[in-house]
């Protein structure tokens, strides 16, 4: 039984039933659960979720109102274990961004990598595997790989 950190792009697709990749994201999580693995999320994922869900559709967001976002987050907290922010995460994040010269939006990916490392996990599920390849010790899994493993 392993823990799999869900990237924000996976969680958004699970919550947005109209997304073209909703079924893949949903099946990927179903596969993890059927195998006895544990999908987990972090406060950072929920914060990023709010940012994208509240952004207008024309700005690559979902255009949801605050109540809809809060309701979706409540469901996510029921469905997935929330890893707590540990004080060690910041130090690990800082070490990663400095050693890999991470800049811009990719600092968020380094934050998720830091969480995985601090919790002693290995796996992260993301629709953007290339965002994480620079971080050693991670097993990066695309939802399509899990969805294809029908239990």
Summarised one tens digit per residue, pLDDT across range 65-94 is 999 999 999 999 999 999 999 999 999 999
Beta strand pairing call for 3-6 and 81-82: unpaired
Q: For tokens 């811009």, name the residue.
A: 104
For residue 132, the enclosing domain spans 3-147
| HEC per residue, 33-57 | HHHCCEEEECHHHHHHHHHHHHCCH
| pLDDT value, residue 151 | 59
| pLDDT value, residue 149 | 85
Whole-number Å distance between alpha carbons of 150 and 144:
11
CATH code for the domain of 65: 3.40.50.1010
* pLDDT tier at 150, thresholds 50, 70, 90: low
Number of domains in the chain: 1
Q: For tokens 């097993």, name the residue.
A: 139
Closest CA to 135 of 53, 106, 147: 106
pLDDT in tens, 86-139: 999 999 999 999 999 999 989 999 999 999 999 998 999 999 999 999 999 999
Closest CA to 62 of 48, 76, 75, 79: 48
pLDDT in tens, 1-59: 899 999 999 999 999 999 999 999 999 999 999 999 999 999 999 999 999 999 999 99
| pLDDT value, residue 87 | 93
What tokens appear for 4 in the block? 């799999």
What tokens appear for 18 in the block? 């109209």
């Amino acid at each position: 039984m392993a823990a799999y950190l869900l990237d924000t792009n996976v969680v958004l697709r699970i919550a947005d039933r109209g997304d073209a990749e909703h079924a893949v994201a949903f099946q990927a999580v179903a596969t993890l659960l059927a195998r006895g693995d544990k999908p987990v999320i972090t406060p950072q994922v929920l914060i990023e979720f709010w940012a994208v869900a509240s952004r207008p559709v024309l700005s690559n967001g979902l255009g949801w109102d605050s109540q809809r976002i809060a309701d979706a987050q409540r469901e996510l907290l029921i469905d997935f274990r929330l890893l707590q922010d540990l004080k060690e995460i910041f130090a690990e994040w800082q070490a990663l961004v400095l050693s890999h010269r991470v800049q811009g939006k990719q600092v968020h990916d380094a934050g998720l990598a830091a969480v995985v490392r601090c919790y002693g996990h290995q796996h992260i599920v993301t629709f953007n595997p290339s965002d994480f390849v620079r971080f050693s010790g991670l097993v990066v899994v695309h939802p399509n790989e899990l969805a294809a493993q029908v239990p």
